[in-house]
Amino acid sequence: MKRIFLTLGLAAALLGPLAPAARAWGFFGHRVITQVAVYQLPAGMQGFYYRHLPELVRLCTAPDERRNQDKTEASRHFIDMDHFSEDNPFAKVPREYEAAQDRFSADTLRKYGTVPWTVIETKNKLVSAFSERDTAGIVLYSAELAHYVEDAFVPLHTTVNYDGQLTNQAGLHSLWESQLPERYIQTYKLSAPDGNEAKVLKNPLDAIWQVIQNSYGFLTATFDLETKASKGFTPQTKYTYAHRFGKTQRRYSDAFADEYNKLVGGQVDYRMRTAAPMVASFWMTAWQEAGRPDLGKLMAPAKLRKPEQDSLDVQLRAYKANTLPKDLLLLAMQKEKKAAAVDDVKAADPNDALPPPPPEPAPIAPGGATIKVAAPAAPAKVKTKTKGAAGTEKAKSKPLDW
């Protein structure tokens, strides 16, 4: 890894708070991984998750969206392992939160990231939602759990030099986790690599720590390959400028992205491919810990309708054939629309009149034109009840629009 001439602690102090936009997969990456994770679930879960796929995909980016309102949110997405030590930090940071807090203090952990413990905390909320047969909670916490698990797969979520800002590589984070996936998704393989199939996790905490350790191992290549790709570029050809949100921002040019992708694209693809089965594994583990409740009882009707099943079958075939992007079946590539409200916490009587099937997603036609479909009704307010260390929490919210 490149040498960082400022000590990591001093550099972090000088740089101040983290830039919120620099700490997660882009929305596109999160939504792709979350959708693909649904295809890797067992039959007892897949129908429920597919029924709620549009909302799962939409809500999986909610943790990023609330960062400006919730100042405690940012630290939940990363852990700067090299702050604790550049020499085998995984031997020096306890895996259990209480032990890590005793060694480093809660303030230090909040400052340098808590993603492994946030994953476990969110998994436990999902267990409670499954146990209480809380449909809205299952959808919400499944989406948020997906987000935090996915963040742990990004190498730049494991270092103080999270955006290359300490090595004159500012903008590297967005290049790696947003620009490359959005530009090259057609060339990526989204099916799980052999040996990475979704499964119930024996020790979820150990599993997420292993993900973080693997991500940390990719850092050297992440930085060094940017340096290698830079040799054929001048500052004028390496960067471009765009005016967004009232500010002029510098980003890597598409020409540089093309060159960097030749060197590092397989790494980005691999982290996406391995993230999806791990997300599915955490969902399965929460379901198992809750006693494997019958999710069909939370659906009305209790099984997918024939058009839904046919659509799922098409997507499963495309997933296995690695043609989801080519066939325009990724929701992240389609125009956003409002999501249907989740089922009531108590499922409707299957003998009642069935609601009409949801509208098909709006595919993007060649050339970027969008095929318009009628917008569904506005989502209804839902109640969420969770149990945690602080007791029972109740909240009433309106699902975010898809």
Chain segment 174-202, per-residue pLDDT in tens: 999 999 999 999 999 999 999 999 999 99
pLDDT for 86: 86
Tell me the average pLDDT across 345-371: 38
Is residue 356 pLDDT above 80, yes or no?
no
User: What pLDDT, on a 0 to 100 scale, did the predictor assign at position 335?
Assistant: 79
Residue 316 has pLDDT above 90, yes or no: yes
pLDDT at 207 over 90: yes
Q: How confident is the model at residue 7 (pLDDT cuts 50, 70, 90)?
A: very low
Global pTM reads 0.79
Which tens digits make up the pLDDT trace of 275-284? 999 999 999 9
Mean pLDDT value of segment 85-114: 96
- Res. 351 pLDDT band, cuts 50 70 90: very low
User: What does pLDDT average to over the chain?
Assistant: 83
Residue 364 in this model has a pLDDT that exceeds 80: no
Average pLDDT estimate for 100-105: 98
Residue 289 pLDDT grade (very low, low, confident, very high; cuts 50, 70, 90): very high
Q: pLDDT tens digits for 225-272?
A: 999 999 999 999 999 987 766 788 889 999 999 999 999 999 999 999
Q: What is the pLDDT of residues 39-81, one digit of tens each?
A: 999 999 999 999 999 999 999 999 999 998 999 999 999 999 9
pLDDT at 22: 43
pLDDT above 90 as % of the chain: 73
* Cβ-based burial of 186 (10 A; exposed 0-12, middle 13-18, buried ≥19): exposed
Give pLDDT, residue 248: 81
Query: What pLDDT is stored for residue 337 in this prediction?
Result: 58
pLDDT range class, residue 389, cuts 50, 70, 90: very low
